[in-house]
Structure 1
Amino acid sequence: MEEITVIFHGTNGWYTSKTGYTTCITIDTPDCFIILDAGEGFTKIPDVYPSIQKPALLFFSHFHLDHISGLHTLARCQFEGGLSIYGPPGAHMLSKFIGYPYTVPLSELTYPVTIMELVEGRCNLQIPVQTAFLVHNQPVFGYRFELSKTITFCTDTGPCEGILTLGADADLLITECAYLPGQENPGWPHLNPEVAVRLATEARAKRLALVHFAADLYASLDQRSAIKNIGPQFSDVIIGMDDMVIKM
């Protein structure tokens, strides 16, 4: 079976700190290179993958700064097969962010880049992708990638039907975990570990990985690791740490 390599380059939410860089995850498949969000973790990609020959596809959940700030290092990347950027409505504004006076513009990169706004539902791209709106204070997309293994990515969201739809029977469900155990704030929708586990169970996901830990709340890695101690249902949960590698 074709091997898939998932790397958590950045697992913090809001800002980079001693616990990690802000959110960026890559999924390396035999046919394409998938990038999930481009927080500061994105800056690590050229060191791990000096040259990427296959097509690269970058999917944005939304456009808060902690998910796009790594774009200022696009000029360091070698996407020899080109880079296609996808996101929810509003994605085209990235063409203004990726340019002067902020950073090197798209037209001066050494590889071709395209930007496309996606609609909710199944998308006809190079790979089978399904999107769904999540619940946040800005439009946010979750993604389901149907590869040789099914991988779902849902961040910056409160509990919602979109997570269940995208995460149904997924081999790996990656969700955020911004809040501490027992913490909730409906006015600023995010997940705590208990809710993330409940949603993964309802979706019948085979594995759950937690990322996007709020940097101000999870001020130490020990706080993340302590999630394993909440109860037996957390024993198999993957606690995302920067530079963690999962082979599928």
Structure 2
Amino acid sequence: MQITFLGTSSGVPTRARNVSSVALRLPQRAELWLFDCGEGTQHQLLRSELKISQLSRIFITHMHGDHIFGLMGLLASCGLAGNVQRVDIYGPPGLNEYIQASLRYSYTHFSYPVKVHAIRPGVIYEDDEFTVTCGPLHHRITSFGYRVAEKDRAGRFDIDKAKELQIPPGRVYGQLKRGEIVTLNDGRVIDGKDLCGPTEIGRKIAYCTDTVFCEGAVELAQDADVLIHEATFAHQDADMAFQRLHSTTTMAAQTALAAQAHRLIMTHFSPRYAPGNVIELKDLLKEARAIFPNTDMAHDFMIYDVPRRRELELTEANV
């Protein structure tokens, strides 16, 4: 699981930061999932190492322009390129009407299937590997956060031990790899768990924007390997944050702390904190780290590989 930040500004783009969009690459299945699609997202994709042809799912948090104005351009380009197989889009009520109106007035036709799913809190997608849930956030309009949970997998299968036990290869290996109990032709009963290493805990990602501090974000981020959370304002601008129902750096950090997340990556920064101003982005990072030390600040085209828990433990042990 690899995260690429395609847009990290709030409201309007700047020379260094585009508006909201985050890509999640799933290399094991050659898929690309997109979270929000602000204006210019397709240009950001072209400048990245990501393959638009792998785009399969788009998750929209809410209907503000800096999160959806790039959607139709991207979908239209995917159709003209002819290399996308199917796209499922998830978002709040009104998203399908927006897409249908855009199609009608721009005379655009998709050459591939596009299905829009109106979401409600709870599980919105599930397959053999992943579960995606959404939950309400607290913003000026209906807004949802998302949680992507990779399912736990059986540990690594010890093929050498299987050979020592003279277990014949074939279909039985697959059963044992899944941790099943198998009765062999000679009557021996083999528990697959005895031939597999520790269970690989599935990774969890939470994406929460736009919102002021709320319990919904804490719930989505519970025990997340990485929480991506908006941090539009500095702490001293908290009054403005409450008025506009956006988060400060300290709210993002408090969400990560309350949820016992493992890492916080802040995004969606106001342009008011540009270099040379009284408060700069580096000051926002200090504020968050004072509450939640394991905090990073996203920038456009930043890539983060989400480690497995076992890999993380080994890395921390060697530090």
Same fold, judged at TM 0.5 (above): yes
Change (3 A) 1:41 1:204: farther
Superposed CA offset, 1:17-42 (max 9, x none): 12310000000012332100000352
CA distance in 2, matches of 1:124, 1:113: 16
Matched, 1:226 2:283: yes
User: Which of the residues 7, 10, 14 maps onto 2:7?
Assistant: 10
CA distance in 2, matches of 1:97, 1:66: 18
Matched, 1:141 2:198: no
Match of 1:194, SS state, is helix
Instruction: Compare the two structures and name the one with the higher helix fraction.
Output: 2
Change (3 A) 1:144 1:22: same
> Residue 89 of structure 2 corresponds to which residue in structure 1?
85
Q: Which has the higher contact order (CA 8 A, sep 6+)?
A: 1
Q: 2:257·2:292 contact (CA, 8 Å) conserved in 1?
A: no
Change (3 A) 1:51 1:177: closer
What pairs with 1:22-171 in structure 2 (closer than 5 Å)? 22-29=19-26, 30-31=28-29, 32-43=31-42, 44-48=44-48, 49-53=50-54, 56-71=56-71, 72-77=73-78, 80-101=84-105, 103=106, 105=108, 108-126=109-127, 127-147=130-150, 148-171=202-225
Letter in 1 for 2:286: N
Letter in 2 for 1:200: A
**Residue 69 of structure 1, CA deviation:** 1.1
CA distance in 2, matches of 1:51, 1:34: 10
> Residue 177 of structure 2 corresponds to which residue in structure 1?
none
Q: 1:227·1:234 contact (CA, 8 Å) conserved in 2?
A: no
Q: 1:86·1:116 contact (CA, 8 Å) conserved in 2?
A: yes
**Residue 84 of structure 1, CA deviation:** 0.7
> Residue 176 of structure 2 corresponds to which residue in structure 1?
none
Superposed CA offset, 1:73-102 (max 9, x none): 32333552311110122221232353253x
Percent of pairs with identical residues: 27
Q: 1:9·1:41 contact (CA, 8 Å) conserved in 2?
A: no
Letter in 2 for 1:122: V
Match of 1:40, SS state, is coil
> Residue 154 of structure 2 corresponds to which residue in structure 1?
none
Q: 1:228·1:234 contact (CA, 8 Å) conserved in 2?
A: no
CA distance in 1, matches of 2:229, 2:45: 21
Q: 1:9·1:24 contact (CA, 8 Å) conserved in 2?
A: yes
How many aligned positions are there? 240
Instruction: Between 44-53 and 163-172, report the one with greater CA deviation.
Output: 44-53
Letter in 1 for 2:251: V
Q: 2:262·2:294 contact (CA, 8 Å) conserved in 1?
A: no
> Residue 189 of structure 1 corresponds to which residue in structure 2?
245
Letter in 1 for 2:21: C
CA distance in 1, matches of 2:93, 2:33: 20
Find runs of 4+ consecutive structure 1 residues off by over 6 angstroms.
none
User: Which of the residues 237, 240, 243 maps onto 2:298?
Assistant: 240
Letter in 2 for 1:225: K
Letter in 2 for 1:160: C
CA distance in 2, matches of 1:97, 1:205: 40
Instruction: Between 151-160 and 181-190, report the one with greater CA deviation.
Output: 181-190
User: Which of the residues 256, 269, 284 maps onto 1:213?
Assistant: 269
